[in-house]
Amino acid sequence: MNDPFRIFDSIRQTYLRYLESPFRLRYAALMSERKAMLDRDGQLWREPLLEPIAPYLLSGLTVAQACEHLGVDSSVANFINGGLFSAERQLYQHQFQAWELSRQGKAVVITSGTGSGKTECYLIPIFTYLAEEALGHLTSLSVWDSSNGTPRQWWTQQRQGWVAQRQHESRPSAVRALLLYPLNALIEDQLTRIRQTCDNPDVQQWRETNMNGNRFWFGRYTGATPVAGLRMKDGRVNSQKQGELKRRLSEMSGEWSELQSVQLDDEELIYYFQNPNGSEMWSRWDMQDKAPDILITNYSMLNIMLMRSVENSIFEQTRRWLEQDRENHIFHLVIDELHTYRGTPGTEVGYLLRALLNRIGLEPDSPQLRIIATSASIENDTESLDYLEQFFGRDRNTFSILSGERQNFPTPQQESHRLVTHQDTFVQIDNILSQNPNGNENTVIEEAATIL
């Protein structure tokens, strides 16, 4: 269990170090005095407020046991335990239910509270599906061919032009899962988790053993993704945009190289940066060439992508892949913070999703579609079901709303009897307080004390 006081102290020290680095003073005495002024309650920080909250009900199953229950191969459990979920930890009941119901084709909406593991409710089903496809456990049509080589970092060569990141692959490319967020800040947070899932050392070893040189590709497609603009212009290479991309990728490589020479207090901090040798796609051009398995974006960018021809290949590849096997090829659609899509904006996003599904050849009630949404204010009532049906254009009876059930800690029977013997005493004290509502406080306390 994490120590909240240690976490608080770590965050406090991080902020103090940040202030000392860019705002350094010549004299150590002045720095010490400034630190003493800031390092106190009410200045740079406030004392933590701890609220005891009952934990969510556990399923009684680890990932390996859940895989056995669901008929998933144990090698898939090894992948999930490699970086996404601890092997010893039990799934919450709503996490297992979301996984099970999604595999059954139900649309799932998770409404449990903060810290309840909603992210795992969609990442575990998605990565389970990807691993099963890569290993050929779904159908012979889905077996991934061996990868021939590794990505070529073309920007490190002085005269080299753009080279597709996945030119060495022959396996079918398509978006298997679309993660849609309302804010780019949420996307950045999610990237950290997916980088750790796909590229930590244990998973790299698993890939070498099981995936014939392949990997699960993911890509962030937002305004921050290099580089906007066409690769070809007037039948020629767009040298200006290619130069811009080369500069951006060189900066990425430089940051990663510098990071390798630094001793990090927390090993997970490395996943805040993009690894040029990892599974994250480098640029828009690379994703347009071969669509990532997991596409992460926001609804504004998705709207733009659907209107432009330059991204048409992403949707076309996905449509062809879905047509190849109508039984086993599944498209996962994740909508985070579903409650933010209300009113007119919600209507627009609802139509946007219909346009997306039409573009890739699916209907809202298609058995190839797996919807997983998270929300903080959806209830299992008629009004919420009306909203879900209208937003997704799908029968309300196909939705399962999981609010998560908290563990119950009843008062032990023997504890409830301890105060019974003092019942009459408390009645007398209550009488004193009620008879002297405006009496002197000390007098009332003295009278009550004589009874005790």
Of 63-72, 153-162, 435-444, the least confident: 435-444
Q: What is the pLDDT of residues 258-288, one digit of tens each?
A: 988 887 777 788 999 999 999 999 999 999 9
Predicted confidence (pLDDT) per residue in 82-123, tens digit: 989 999 999 999 999 999 999 999 999 999 988 889 999 999
Q: Is the pLDDT assigned to residue 442 strictly greater than 70?
A: no
pLDDT value for 426: 76
Instruction: Give mean pLDDT, residues 34-46.
Output: 90
List pLDDT tens digits, range 127-155: 999 999 998 887 654 567 777 778 999 99
Radius of gyration, CA atoms only, the chain: 28
- Comparing CA positions, the residue from 275, 293, 289, 284 lying closest to residue 214 is 293
State residue 219 phi and psi, 5-degree precision.
-150, 140
Cα–Cα dist 305/314, whole Å: 9
As a whole-number percent, the residues of the chain with pLDDT over 90 amount to 60
pLDDT the model gives residue 193: 92
Q: How confident is the model at residue 449 (pLDDT cuts 50, 70, 90)?
A: low
| Whole-angstrom distance, CA of residue 296 vs CA of residue 218 | 8
Do the beta carbons of residue 294 and residue 187 sit within 8 Å? no
Q: How far apart are CA 37 and CA 39, in angstroms?
A: 6
| Kind of pairing between the strands at 232-233 and 236-237 | antiparallel
pLDDT band, residue 419 (cuts 50/70/90)? low
pLDDT at 6: 86
Query: pLDDT band for position 364 (50/70/90)?
Result: very high
Q: Is residue 406 over pLDDT 70?
A: yes
Which pLDDT does position 263 carry in this prediction?
77
Model's pTM, two decimal places?
A: 0.82
Average pLDDT over residues 61-78: 95
Q: Would the pLDDT of 445 be above 70?
A: no
Asked if 318 contacts 330 with a C-beta cutoff of 8 angstroms, the reply is: no
pLDDT in the model for residue 149? 78
Residue 418's pLDDT band (boundaries 50, 70, 90)?
A: low
For residue 216, report the phi and psi dihedrals to the nearest 5 degrees.
Answer: -90, 115
- Compare 98 and 448 and report the one with higher pLDDT: 98
Three-state SS string across 123-165, please?
Answer: HHHHHHHHHHHHCCCCCHHHCCCCCCCCCCCHHHCCCCCCCCC
Whether 219 and 190 have beta carbons less than 8 Å apart is answered as no
1 pLDDT higher than 80: no
Q: What pLDDT sits at residue 205?
A: 92
With a cut of 60, say whether residue 16 has pLDDT above it.
yes
Task: Yes or no: say if 123 and 99 are a contact pair by the CB < 8 Å rule.
Answer: no
Percentage of the chain modeled with pLDDT above 70: 93
Mean of the per-residue pLDDT values of the chain = 89
**pLDDT of 446 strictly over 60:** yes
pLDDT in tens, 164-187: 999 999 899 999 999 999 888 888
pLDDT at 57: 94
User: Looking at residue 412, what is its pLDDT?
Assistant: 65
| CA-based nearest residue to 400, from 131, 108, 111, 195 | 108
Domain residue spans in the chain? 1-51, 63-402, 415-451
Q: What is the CATH number of domain 63-402?
A: 3.40.50.300
